[in-house]
Amino acid sequence: MKDSSGNISIDGIAFRIFGDYFGRRRAKFESLREELIKARLYVPLEKWLSKAMLYSIIAAVCVATGYLVLKLIISGMVLKQESLFGSMDAALIMSGILISFFSTYFGFYSYPKLRAWERRGKIDRVLPYAIGYISSMASIGVIPYEIFKKLSEAEETYGEVSIEVKQVVRDVKLLGFDFLTALKNLVALTPSTRMRAFLQGAITTALSGGEMGSYFIKISEEYMEERRLEYESFIETLGLYAEFYVVGLVVAPLLLVLVLSIMCFLGGASLELLAAIVYILIPLSTAGFIVLVGLSSLD
């Protein structure tokens, strides 16, 4: 296989070598195929696994070659060379090959799942606002498909939610599915459980004879209320963090520095300890606190 410039790519070489092997075993990797779709990595399953296998082999060869070259350089610096490679070297090379091979392969195998998990978080954060947009459009009488089409064109505002909704528009416009079938397809493939529940509710409402517009308006109120409660809880958590920061990272270090300064002046403590607290402990603690707040953030 060739890239856009006409040259044979590494991915193409990998697919030529391993494509048939993984193609015959496609059923064994069905879960990986679903993760690739949820992560919106538009790569055939056989090509992804072939790429993983080839890069794993390359990593193993690089590790073995690197060890051999390093061993030769080191042995060349030693005057006494009774044995260049021993059983310990063979064991280390074999261990390095196995570790590099399986870690690389596992990395390729796990990346789609991690990417899908990342997308799920982004979808869940924006979904309440996207549903608010849907409900506002439904309240003025826009039909559901047109609402989803407009939402799919607002990627700059609604991010991953718009990318998900594009699948519905594609299924209807290009593949010829009806709107409800397209929604069912997205329910099966979206990584977000909240979006899945929202879409499933819309499908159930339509099949039971209800109006999707009324459902969108009702569910929008529920999601925004849920979002408001989440922010209230987050603000309370930030209050606790602020108290901890003031007591643990402002007052306590200042008192400690003051005491140590007096002890250093009296000869009862070393300047090295004081410097370690001022230049290492306090900055690292502050950086850790910033990371903690960032991880706890809703956005």
Q: What is the pLDDT of residue 76?
A: 64
> Which of the pair, 161 or 222, is modelled with greater confidence?
161
Q: What is the pLDDT of residue 85?
A: 63
Long-range residue pairs from 90-96, CB within 8 A, at least 24 positions apart, any chain = 92/67, 93/64, 93/67, 93/68, 96/60, 96/63, 96/64, 96/67
Residues in the chain: 299
- Angle at CA 23, nearest 5°, toward 26 and 182? 55
Q: 18 and 99 share a domain?
A: yes
Amino acid identity at 11: D
- The DSSP 8-state label assigned to residue 40 in this structure reads T
User: Does the residue 216 lie in any domain?
Assistant: yes
Residue pair 225/151 in contact (Cβ under 8 Å)? The answer is no
For residue 299, what pLDDT band results from cuts at 50, 70 and 90?
A: low
> End of a domain among 208, 224, 240?
224
d(CA 16, CA 131): 45
Q: What is the pLDDT of residue 148?
A: 92
Q: pTM of this prediction?
A: 0.72
Q: 14 and 113 share a domain?
A: yes
Total number of domains constituting the chain: 3
pLDDT exceeds 70 at position 83? no
Q: What is the pLDDT of residue 151?
A: 92
Q: Which residue has the tokens 């610096």?
A: 77
Report the SS3 class of residue 8.
strand
Nearest to 56 by CA among 106, 123, 9, 125: 106
pLDDT exceeds 80 at position 80? no
> End of a domain among 78, 93, 118?
118
Longest distance between any two alpha carbons in the chain, whole Å: 89
Give the range among 197-201, 269-273, 281-285 with minimum mean pLDDT.
269-273
Burial class (CB in 10 A: 0-12, 13-18, 19+), 176: exposed
Q: 203 and 108 share a domain?
A: no
C-alpha of 29 from chain center: 21
Average pLDDT, the chain: 85
User: Does the residue 4 lie in any domain?
Assistant: no
Residue pair 171/181 in contact (Cβ under 8 Å)? The answer is yes
User: Does the residue 247 lie in any domain?
Assistant: yes
Q: What is the pLDDT of residues 208-226, one digit of tens each?
A: 877 888 888 888 888 888 8
Q: 216 and 253 share a domain?
A: no
Token code pair at residue 234: 């987050």
C-alpha of 46 from chain center: 22
pLDDT exceeds 90 at position 70? no
Q: What is the pLDDT of residue 7?
A: 45
Range of the domain at 184: 120-224
- Angle at CA 11, nearest 5°, toward 10 and 13? 65
Q: What is the pLDDT of residues 243-277, one digit of tens each?
A: 888 888 888 888 888 888 888 877 776 777 878 88
**Residues whose CB falls within 8 Å of the CB of residue 103, separated by 6 or more in sequence, listed in order:** 59
Stretch 116-130: mean pLDDT: 89
Residue 154, CA distances (Å) to 147, 148, 150, 151, 168 in order: 11, 10, 7, 5, 14
User: Does the residue 195 lie in any domain?
Assistant: yes
Give the range among 49-53, 106-110, 191-195, 222-226 with minimum mean pLDDT.
222-226
User: Does the residue 3 lie in any domain?
Assistant: no
Q: What is the pLDDT of residue 6?
A: 45
Stretch 93-110: mean pLDDT: 92
